[in-house]
C-alpha cells in the first residue's frame, strides 16, 4: 500500500513551535466541533487543564515544543516526561472534576511506542486515552477553511494545497494571451538591516495580451502595441498612462496596464502608484470578462503587497534592533503594535489575492494565465523566504521555501503539458533566481544552465542577454539561514 504523502497543511501544523499559537489553533478547532461544550482555559492552561469537553467528560492537555528538538536528544523521553506530568495533574483534578477521557493533543506526530506506553499508563489510572495530532487537526481545518483566517502561517500554506486540488481542464491560448511580466527578485549581500528588495530589469516580450475587442482596434490600442516593441523610458511611460486615464477603448486601457506592469522595475513610481494602476486593470478586466487577465493582475497585486509586507517587517525589525543596540526607545509600544497589525493585514490580503488569482486562472482554462499566476506566487514566496532567512526565522522561511518551489514546479508542469518551451524557459529563469535568493546556489545554477541551453535553442535573446548577470547574482554571498535550534 502506498504511503499517503504528508500535505503542506499538515507540515505547517507540524512546524508550529509557539505554544500560544498552537493553543489558539486547538481552541478554534474544538470550538468549531463541540461549540459551547468545549471549555478552553487561559494560556498555558490551569494546573494541567488546557481544556474540557463537557459532553464526553474529556480533559484536554496540549503540548507543543517551543523549539525543534535537537537530533541528539531523545524525543520519546521528552514527550513522555511532559505527558506524565500532565497526567499527574489530571489525577489530582479528577477529585473535583468528572473525567472519563484524557486527551493529549500535539502539533507533531507522536511515535507509536510512546502512544502504546501512554495508553497503558492512562488506562491504568482509570481514564480512556486519546492522542490526536496534526493529521486530525489538518482534517478539521480543511472542512472549515475559515479557521485559517486566524492562523496566517497556515493560510499561506493552504494556497499550494488548493493548486493541486483545482481541476486541470485547461485549453491552449487563442485570444486573450497575456503579456509577459517577468519581474525577478535579485539577491543582496548587504546585512539584513540595510537589505532592499530590488529586481532585474524585465525583458521585452513578443507575447502580448489581446483584448476581446481585437477586431475593433482603436488608435489607442494600436499605439500601445507599438510601444510594446520599444525600450521602456519615462516619456513612453507617461504616454501609456495618459492612454489608461483617457481612452474610451477598454481594451487599450487593459493592454496599457499590462504593459506598465511589465515595466514596473524600470519605473520611478512607488508601489502604491502601481497598485492604483493594477486596480484600474482589474476593474477593466472584469468589465471585459477576461478571467485570464484578471487572474494575472490579482497575482501582481498580491506580489506587490508581499513586497510591502517584507519592507515593513524589515523596518520594524530594524528599529527594534537599533533600540536594543543603543539602549534607547527608537520605537514605541504603540508604533510596534501598529506595525504588527498592518503586517497581519498585508499578510491576509496578499494570501487572499493569490488564492483568488489561482482560482480565476484555472477558471479561465488558459494555461498562460495559470503559469504566470503561479510564477507570481513563487516569486513572492521566494522573496519572503529570503527575508525570513535573513532574520533567522527558520520555520516561516521553510514554509515560504516550500510554497515557492511548489508554485514554480507546478507552473513548469503546466507549460510542459502544452508543449510550450518558451514559457517553460521563462518559468525556469525566474525559478533559478528564486532559488538563488533562498541560498540554494547549486540548484539555482543547474536550473540556469537548463535555461541557457533552451534559450539558445529557441533563440530567446531577451533571456540570453541576462544569463551571465543572473549567474553572477546567484553566486554572490548571501545571508545564511540562522539556526535558532
Query: What SS3 class is residue 200?
Result: strand
* CA-based nearest residue to 162, from 57, 8, 330, 11: 8
Residues 6+ apart with CB under 8 A from 181: 202, 258, 261, 262, 264, 296, 300, 372, 376
Per-residue pLDDT of the chain (485 residues; tens, 9 = 90+): 333 333 467 777 887 888 888 998 999 999 999 999 999 876 554 566 789 999 999 999 999 888 766 554 578 888 999 999 999 999 999 998 999 999 999 999 899 989 999 999 999 999 999 999 998 998 898 888 778 777 766 654 455 444 444 434 444 443 334 433 333 333 322 222 222 333 333 333 334 444 434 445 789 999 998 998 888 899 999 999 999 999 999 999 999 999 998 888 778 888 899 999 999 999 999 999 999 999 999 999 999 999 999 888 887 776 766 666 655 666 677 877 788 888 889 988 998 999 899 889 988 888 889 999 999 999 999 989 888 888 788 878 888 888 888 889 888 988 888 888 999 999 999 999 899 888 888 999 999 999 999 999 999 887 888 888 888 888 876 654 443 33
C-alpha cell at 306: 508581499
Question: Rounded CA gap, 376 and 361, in Å?
Answer: 12
What is the CATH code for 8-150? 3.40.91
What sign does the CA torsion over 344, 350, 356, 359 have? negative
Which residues in the chain are classed under CATH 3.40.91?
Answer: 8-150
Q: Is the pTM of this model over 0.75?
A: no
What's 7's DSSP letter? P
**Residue 131 three-state SS:** coil
Contact 292, 172 (CB under 8 A): no
Report the distance separating Cα 244 and Cα 225, nearest Å: 13
Q: Is 262 in contact with 180 (CB distance < 8 Å)?
A: yes
Amino acid at each position: 500500500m502506498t504511503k499517503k504523502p504528508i500535505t503542506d497543511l499538515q507540515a505547517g501544523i507540524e512546524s508550529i513551535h509557539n505554544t500560544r499559537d498552537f493553543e489558539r489553533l486547538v481552541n478554534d478547532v474544538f470550538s468549531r466541533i463541540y461549540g459551547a461544550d468545549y471549555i478552553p482555559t487561559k494560556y498555558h492552561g490551569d494546573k494541567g487543564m488546557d481544556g474540557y469537553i463537557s459532553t464526553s467528560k474529556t480533559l484536554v492537555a496540549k503540548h507543543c515544543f517551543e523549539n525543534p528538538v535537537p537530533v541528539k536528544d531523545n524525543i520519546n523521553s521528552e514527550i513522555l516526561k511532559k505527558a506524565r506530568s500532565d497526567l499527574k495533574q489530571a489525577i489530582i483534578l479528577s477529585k473535583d472534576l468528572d473525567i472519563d477521557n484524557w486527551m493529549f493533543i500535539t502539533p507533531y506526530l507522536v511515535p507509536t511506542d510512546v502512544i502504546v506506553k501512554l495508553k497503558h499508563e492512562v488506562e491504568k489510572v482509570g481514564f480512556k486515552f486519546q492522542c490526536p495530532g496534526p493529521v486530525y487537526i489538518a482534517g478539521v481545518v480543511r472542512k472549515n477553511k475559515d479557521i485559517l483566517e486566524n492562523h496566517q502561517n497556515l493560510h499561506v500554506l493552504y494556497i499550494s494545497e488548493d493548486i493541486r486540488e483545482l481541476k486541470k481542464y485547461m485549453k491552449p491560448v487563442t485570444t486573450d494571451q497575456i503579456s509577459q511580466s517577468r519581474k525577478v527578485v535579485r539577491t543582496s549581500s548587504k546585512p539584513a538591516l540595510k537589505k532592499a528588495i530590488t529586481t532585474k530589469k524585465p525583458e521585452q516580450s513578443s507575447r502580448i495580451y489581446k483584448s476581446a475587442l481585437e477586431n475593433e482596434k482603436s488608435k489607442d490600442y494600436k499605439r500601445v502595441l507599438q510601444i510594446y516593441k520599444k525600450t521602456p523610458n519615462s516619456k513612453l511611460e507617461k504616454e501609456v498612462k495618459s492612454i489608461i486615464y483617457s481612452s474610451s477603448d477598454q481594451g487599450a486601457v487593459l493592454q496599457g496596464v499590462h504593459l506598465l506592469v511589465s515595466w514596473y522595475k524600470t519605473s520611478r513610481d512607488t508601489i502604491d502608484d502601481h497598485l492604483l494602476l493594477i486596480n484600474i486593470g482589474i476593474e477593466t478586466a472584469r468589465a471585459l470578462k477576461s478571467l485570464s487577465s484578471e487572474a494575472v493582475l490579482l497575482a501582481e497585486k498580491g506580489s506587490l503587497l508581499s513586497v510591502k509586507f517584507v519592507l515593513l517587517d524589515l523596518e520594524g525589525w530594524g528599529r527594534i534592533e537599533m533600540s536594543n543596540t543603543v539602549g534607547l526607545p527608537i520605537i514605541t509600544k504603540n508604533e510596534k503594535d501598529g506595525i504588527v497589525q498592518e503586517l497581519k493585514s498585508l499578510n491576509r490580503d496578499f494570501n487572499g489575492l493569490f488564492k483568488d488569482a489561482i482560482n480565476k486562472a484555472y477558471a479561465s482554462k488558459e494555461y498562460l494565465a495559470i503559469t504566470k499566476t503561479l510564477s507570481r506566487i513563487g516569486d513572492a514566496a521566494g522573496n519572503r523566504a529570503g527575508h525570513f532567512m535573513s532574520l533567522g526565522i527558520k520555520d516561516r522561511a521553510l514554509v515560504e521555501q516550500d510554497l515557492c518551489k511548489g508554485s514554480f514546479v507546478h507552473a513548469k508542469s503546466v507549460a510542459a503539458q502544452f508543449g510550450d518551451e518558451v514559457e517553460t524557459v521563462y518559468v525556469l529563469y525566474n525559478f533559478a533566481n528564486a532559488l538563488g535568493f533562498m541560498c540554494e546556489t547549486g540548484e539555482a545554477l543547474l536550473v540556469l544552465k537548463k535555461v541557457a541551453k533552451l534559450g539558445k535553442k529557441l533563440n530567446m535573446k531577451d533571456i540570453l542577454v541576462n544569463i551571465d548577470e543572473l549567474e553572477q547574482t546567484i553566486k554572490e554571498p548571501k545571508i545564511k539561514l540562522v539556526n535558532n535550534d
